[in-house]
């Protein structure tokens, strides 16, 4: 639960006048450079390039000068940028180095724009309760950047909704919805790779030498003053829904040395402490599992009231079931932790936990708790994600039939957006830009965008097949008609929904081999304008095959002169071929008896492609994360799935031959390795046992490394995927080697996903649990909404120590973006927990 709570009465506070002098300018506490490498005062932190932009996806709003105020990161991207409101795909500086001078408290970052031969230095130093930010230029600003390069500091719009600002004493208000005046800027779209019409830039909301943001609210009051250079306030949301409020000063022409100096101050509320968070499963617990609540505390919070577990009666009367002091859990990241164990409580019912004034939402203890937890994911999330279909839910159309015009051959030697690229040849019979027939069938939107990423498609198919074979999920609440391309949610049609989804994914995998003879990287929008489309996927393209002989927007003979068709990236990759083989072989088993023709075709493609790949040196083309996983791992998966589908000893021999290489990276391949046990000789099991014992030893270290007992990752994409992989690996190894691996990691993993995690207690599965993600990065994110059953990445660790997941701002993809592999993994994990609870 995310709180900003004051634990003492707020005394009147004078507005901070940031003057940039060394003396204290108010009764605010002084900033100091802490051991973690950022500036600290009570309830205020300034980070200076502690994080770097996500190199995979350009600007991720996690770098430059950043402000954490009263427990919320509300400003970021303090850096020199080349436009007033830069978008996700606009150029960013390259970090050359970052240096800290502990004696003076100075942090210095050197950056450059290599294409412009432009280098600059950002230097920060504390001056009492303010932070001085200066820009130094070793050489004068290049002529082509005059009027373009400026220092920007971006402020989170949701932090300033319903608030005011003052510009040199003149009042203004932050707009709830963007409404700035705009000026034409045709080159704006050209620079960012867009081809969707003329560009524009917003004009400033206000201009001044000193801004005070939220003067009425000490929790959000920030003062920014420029020394001799004007500051302009912009609303970046006019240009893109994920834009922020931006304060900006242009860099002067013809000057070197210190060319710009800002002084910034953030108000620290007296005696402020972050309210405790009681991490727990928002869904609840089955009677027999371990039940640990993890209490996350501000390190300055010394209060230790007892934790109380209350059972709520039908009459609303609360009964204290357990009241006890929590055990100390030590420090982790920036917080201190306590642990409250109530595993002995087994009676079914509705419960809440309380710790002082902090109280959880109600949760359940019930034997059948996990039996239906996965239903929103299968009933809602995956139908909404179905590409090439019209998807309807009662009175609501989620999207029209999408991408009927798929797809055009991508151009050669082309590096595209979203980690796609085409090599020096097409590796197909099609010319650059030519329509590739047959790709407009099956598949799911990979994430909050609308591309088909093949690596995700086959991973989901295999995951769904595991759920089908292990748990026999025959739930039917959705009608899927591939012939009419129509999906009706909450309307049973007599067929298991899981098998229909497996078929839908398999259709796309098969279509790739039918169209070009091998697996492709995927199908993605041709430009940024298409890629950033939000809302109805059916309106993203015109659904008509592009004909270059027609004029723009001309339609004739069912074809169109509008080049909006998605591109197919087709460079051969053996890793992708093997991954698709695995998906097709698995699907063949599940679809047998349901769609025999597709099952037979899928298996035939898998066996033929395996033989082809075994007959030549591997194609090693790689780019980004769209060309398959490690080659040996993908090949191992293909061998295991073919062995299970056919029983052919040749594939068993391949499994044996590949195992030594897999053993070096056992954890990510453990589920696949165990899947082969039933079809392999006893010697194979003997070879796995030491690997399983080593995994168990490593698992014990993971459990002890943090208060949650699961892996907490620190990359630019939060770690719910790693947590679910950990739980599913534990389940597979526990089933196969129960004497070595216990079941506890499975329950720790699902508890983490559903609320027992850093930063808040919200469930990261939309619609699952009492309080869950209701503002997420789906294709409906511009509506600040969610898709039930979608799983978000979770708590992103803003380095060095700040766990973050915004429920008020959906556009942080590293925290809030749904992706389909996490959806299928949650179906597996919930059923694994149900299986263990039932037994």
DSSP assignment of 124-136 equals EEEETTEEEEEEE
How many CB atoms within 10 Å of residue 649? 10
Confidence band, pLDDT 50/70/90 cuts, at residue 185: confident
Instruction: Kindly tell me if the per-residue pLDDT of 9 is higher than 60.
Output: no
- What is the reported pLDDT for 25? 46
Residues 6+ apart with CB under 8 A from 664: none
Alpha helix ranges (H) inside 448-496: 454-471
Residues 6+ apart with CB under 8 A from 178: 202, 235, 237, 238, 243
337 vs 332, 718, 801, CA distance in Å?
7, 21, 14
Torsion on CA atoms 486, 488, 494, 500, rounded to nearest 10 = 60
Instruction: Kindly tell me if the per-residue pLDDT of 817 is higher than 50.
Output: yes
- What is the reported pLDDT for 561? 97
Give mean pLDDT, residues 818-822.
98
Determine the Cα–Cα distance for residues 692 and 687; give it in Å rounded to an integer: 9
Percent of the chain with pLDDT over 90: 92
823 vs 375, 393, 499, 788, CA distance in Å?
11, 19, 15, 11
Percent of the chain with pLDDT over 70: 95
- What is the reported pLDDT for 197? 54
Taking alpha carbons only, the member of 213, 262, 226, 221 closest to residue 69 is 221
12 vs 9, 154, 618, CA distance in Å?
10, 28, 71
Taking alpha carbons only, the member of 74, 196, 122, 51 closest to residue 528 is 196
Q: What is the dihedral sign for C-alpha 33, 34, 36, 42?
A: negative
- What is the reported pLDDT for 15? 28
Mean pLDDT (the chain) is 94
> 662-839, what's its fold?
Glycosyltransferase (1.50.10)
**Top-level class of domain 32-266:** mainly beta
Instruction: Kindly tell me if the per-residue pLDDT of 524 is higher than 50.
Output: yes
Within 13 A of 604's CA, how many CA atoms are on the CB side?
Answer: 10
Confidence band, pLDDT 50/70/90 cuts, at residue 187: low
Taking alpha carbons only, the member of 419, 423, 458 closest to residue 442 is 458
Determine the Cα–Cα distance for residues 189 and 195; give it in Å rounded to an integer: 7
Confidence band, pLDDT 50/70/90 cuts, at residue 186: low
Tell me the chain's radius of gyration from C-alpha atoms: 28
SS3 call for 755 = coil
In this structure, are residues 726 and 753 in contact, taking their beta carbons and an 8 Å threshold? no
Q: Facing residues of 285 across strands?
A: 365
Q: Which architecture does CATH list for 277-365? A: Sandwich (2.60)
In this structure, are residues 428 and 570 in contact, taking their beta carbons and an 8 Å threshold? yes
Token digits of residue 326: 């929590």
Give the burial class of 369: count Cβ atoms within 10 A of its Cβ; 0-12 exposed, 13-18 middle, 19 or more buried: buried
Judged by average pLDDT, the poorest of 14-23, 492-501, 702-711, 802-811 is: 14-23
Confidence band, pLDDT 50/70/90 cuts, at residue 17: very low
Instruction: Kindly tell me if the per-residue pLDDT of 585 is higher than 60.
Output: yes
Give the burial class of 95: count Cβ atoms within 10 A of its Cβ; 0-12 exposed, 13-18 middle, 19 or more buried: middle
Determine the Cα–Cα distance for residues 131 and 458; give it in Å rounded to an integer: 50
φ/ψ of residue 293, rounded to 5: -95, 135
In this structure, are residues 296 and 276 in contact, taking their beta carbons and an 8 Å threshold? yes
Give mean pLDDT, residues 494-512.
98
Give mean pLDDT, residues 486-498.
98
Token digits of residue 825: 């993994």
How many CB atoms within 10 Å of residue 598? 20
Instruction: Kindly tell me if the per-residue pLDDT of 549 is higher than 60.
Output: yes
Give mean pLDDT, residues 475-481.
98
Give mean pLDDT, residues 318-338.
98
152 vs 92, 332, 662, 798, CA distance in Å?
12, 32, 47, 20
Give mean pLDDT, residues 688-699.
97
Angle ∠(787,788,791) on CA atoms, nearest 5: 85
Determine the Cα–Cα distance for residues 216 and 108; give it in Å rounded to an integer: 33
Taking alpha carbons only, the member of 366, 371, 329 closest to residue 350 is 366
Taking alpha carbons only, the member of 645, 819, 806, 733 closest to residue 242 is 806
Taking alpha carbons only, the member of 739, 743, 732 closest to residue 667 is 732
- Contacts of residues 393-401 at CB distance under 8 Å and 24 or more positions apart, as own/partner, are 393/488, 393/489, 393/490, 394/489, 394/490, 397/536, 398/489, 399/536, 399/537, 399/538, 399/779, 400/536, 400/537, 400/538, 400/539, 401/485, 401/538, 401/543
In this structure, are residues 77 and 61 in contact, taking their beta carbons and an 8 Å threshold? yes
- What is the reported pLDDT for 56? 64
Give the burial class of 356: count Cβ atoms within 10 A of its Cβ; 0-12 exposed, 13-18 middle, 19 or more buried: middle
Give mean pLDDT, residues 534-553.
95
Q: Where are the domains of the chain?
A: 32-266, 277-365, 379-646, 662-839
Taking alpha carbons only, the member of 82, 66, 70, 246 closest to residue 154 is 246
Instruction: Kindly tell me if the per-residue pLDDT of 353 is higher than 90.
Output: yes
Determine the Cα–Cα distance for residues 600 and 167; give it in Å rounded to an integer: 70
- pLDDT tens, 426-450? 999 999 999 999 999 999 999 999 9
Judged by average pLDDT, the poorest of 184-198, 294-308, 553-567 is: 184-198
Taking alpha carbons only, the member of 426, 388, 390, 393 closest to residue 410 is 426
Determine the Cα–Cα distance for residues 375 and 765; give it in Å rounded to an integer: 11
In this structure, are residues 178 and 161 in contact, taking their beta carbons and an 8 Å threshold? no
> 379-646, what's its fold?
Glycosyltransferase (1.50.10)
Give mean pLDDT, residues 688-714.
96
Is 379-646's fold the same as 662-839's? yes
- pTM as predicted: 0.94
In this structure, are residues 769 and 756 in contact, taking their beta carbons and an 8 Å threshold? no
Residues 6+ apart with CB under 8 A from 717: 54, 793, 796, 814
Determine the Cα–Cα distance for residues 624 and 146; give it in Å rounded to an integer: 34
Confidence band, pLDDT 50/70/90 cuts, at residue 21: very low
- pLDDT tens, 380-424? 999 999 999 999 999 999 999 999 999 999 999 999 999 999 999
Determine the Cα–Cα distance for residues 580 and 518; give it in Å rounded to an integer: 9
């Amino acid at each position: 639960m995310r709180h900003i709570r004051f634990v003492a009465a707020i005394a009147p506070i004078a507005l901070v006048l940031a003057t940039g002098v060394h003396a204290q300018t108010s009764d605010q506490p002084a900033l100091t450079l802490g051991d973690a490498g950022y500036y600290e005062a009570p309830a205020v932190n300034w980070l200076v390039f502690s994080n770097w932009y996500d190199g995979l996806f350009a600007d991720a709003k996690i770098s430059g000068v950043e402000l954490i105020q009263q427990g919320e990161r509300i400003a970021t991207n303090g850096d020199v940028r080349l436009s007033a409101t830069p978008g996700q795909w606009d150029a960013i500086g390259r970090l050359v180095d970052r240096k800290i001078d502990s004696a003076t408290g100075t942090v210095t970052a050197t950056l450059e724009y290599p294409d412009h031969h432009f280098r600059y230095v950002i230097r920060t130093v504390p001056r009492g309760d303010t932070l001085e930010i200066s820009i130094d230029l070793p050489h004068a600003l290049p002529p082509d950047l005059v009027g373009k390069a400026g220092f920007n500091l971006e402020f989170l719009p949701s932090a300033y909704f319903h608030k005011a600002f003052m510009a040199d004493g003149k009042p203004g208000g932050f707009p709830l919805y963007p409404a700035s005046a705009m000026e034409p800027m045709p080159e704006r779209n050209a620079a960012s790779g867009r081809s969707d019409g003329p560009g524009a830039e917003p004009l400033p909301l206000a201009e001044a030498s000193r801004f005070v943001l939220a003067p009425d609210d000490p929790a959000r009051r920030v003062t920014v003053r420029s020394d001799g250079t004007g500051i302009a306030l912009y609303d970046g949301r006019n240009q893109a829904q994920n834009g922020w409020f931006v304060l900006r000063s242009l860099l002067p022409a013809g000057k070197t040395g210190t060319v710009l100096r800002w002084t910034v101050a953030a108000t620290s509320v007296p005696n402020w402490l972050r309210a405790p968070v009681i991490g727990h499963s928002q869904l609840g617990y089955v009677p027999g599992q371990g039940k640990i609540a993890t209490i996350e505390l501000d390190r300055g919070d010394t209060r230790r009231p007892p934790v109380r577990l209350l059972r709520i009666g039908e009459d609303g009367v609360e009964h204290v079931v357990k009241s006890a002091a929590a055990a100390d859990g030590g420090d982790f990241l920036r917080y201190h932790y306590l642990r409250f164990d109530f595993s002995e409580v087994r009676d079914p019912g509705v419960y809440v936990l309380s710790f002082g004034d902090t109280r959880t939402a109600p949760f359940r203890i019930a034997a059948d708790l996990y039996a239906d937890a996965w239903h929103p994911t299968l009933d809602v999330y995956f139908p909404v994600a179905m590409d090439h279909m019209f998807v309807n839910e009662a009175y609501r159309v989620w999207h029209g039939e999408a991408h009927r015009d798929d797809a055009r051959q991508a151009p050669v030697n082309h590096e595209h957006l979203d980690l796609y690229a085409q090599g020096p040849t097409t590796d197909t019979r099609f010319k650059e830009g030519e329509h590739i027939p047959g790709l407009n069938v099956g598949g799911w939107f990979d994430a909050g965008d609308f591309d088909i990423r093949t690596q995700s498609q086959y991973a989901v198919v295999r995951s769904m097949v595991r759920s089908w074979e292990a748990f026999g999920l025959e739930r039917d609440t959705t009608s899927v008609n591939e012939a009419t391309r129509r999906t009706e949610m909450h309307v049973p049609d007599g067929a298991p929904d899981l098998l229909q989804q497996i078929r839908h994914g398999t259709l796309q995998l098969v279509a790739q081999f039918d169209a070009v003879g091998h697996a492709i990287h995927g199908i993605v929008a041709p430009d940024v304008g298409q890629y950033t489309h939000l809302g109805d996927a059916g309106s993203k393209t015109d659904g008509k095959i592009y004909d270059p002989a027609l004029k723009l927007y001309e339609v004739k003979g069912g074809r169109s002169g509008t080049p909006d068709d998605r591109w197919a990236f087709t460079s051969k990759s053996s890793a992708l071929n093997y991954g698709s083989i695995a998906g097709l072989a698995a699907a063949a088993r599940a679809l047998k008896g349901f769609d025999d023709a597709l099952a037979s075709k899928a298996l035939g493609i898998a066996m033929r492609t395996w033989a082809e790949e075994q007959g030549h040196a591997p194609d090693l083309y790689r780019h980004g994360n769209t060309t398959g996983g490690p080659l040996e791992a993908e090949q191992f998966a293909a061998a295991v799935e073919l062995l299970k589908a056919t029983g052919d000893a040749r594939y068993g021999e391949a499994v044996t031959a590949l195992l030594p290489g897999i053993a070096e990276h056992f954890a990510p391949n453990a589920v696949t390795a165990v899947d082969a046990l039933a079809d392999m000789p006893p010697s194979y099991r003997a070879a796995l046992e030491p690997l399983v014992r080593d995994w168990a030893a490593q698992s014990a270290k993971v459990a002890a490394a943090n208060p949650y007992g699961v892996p907490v990752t620190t990359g630019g994409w939060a770690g719910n995927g790693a947590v679910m992989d950990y739980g599913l690996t534990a389940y597979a190894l526990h089933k196969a080697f129960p004497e070595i691996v216990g079941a506890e990691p499975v329950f720790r993993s699902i508890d983490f996903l559903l609320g027992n995690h850093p930063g808040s207690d919200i469930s990261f599965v939309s619609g699952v649990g009492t309080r869950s993600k209701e503002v997420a990065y789906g294709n409906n994110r511009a509506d600040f909404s969610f898709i039930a059953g979608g799983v978000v990445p979770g708590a992103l660790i803003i380095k060095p120590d700040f766990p973050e997941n915004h429920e008020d701002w959906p556009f942080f993809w590293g925290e809030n973006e749904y992706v389909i592999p996490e959806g299928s993994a949650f179906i597996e994990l919930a059923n694994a927990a149900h299986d263990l609870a039932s037994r």
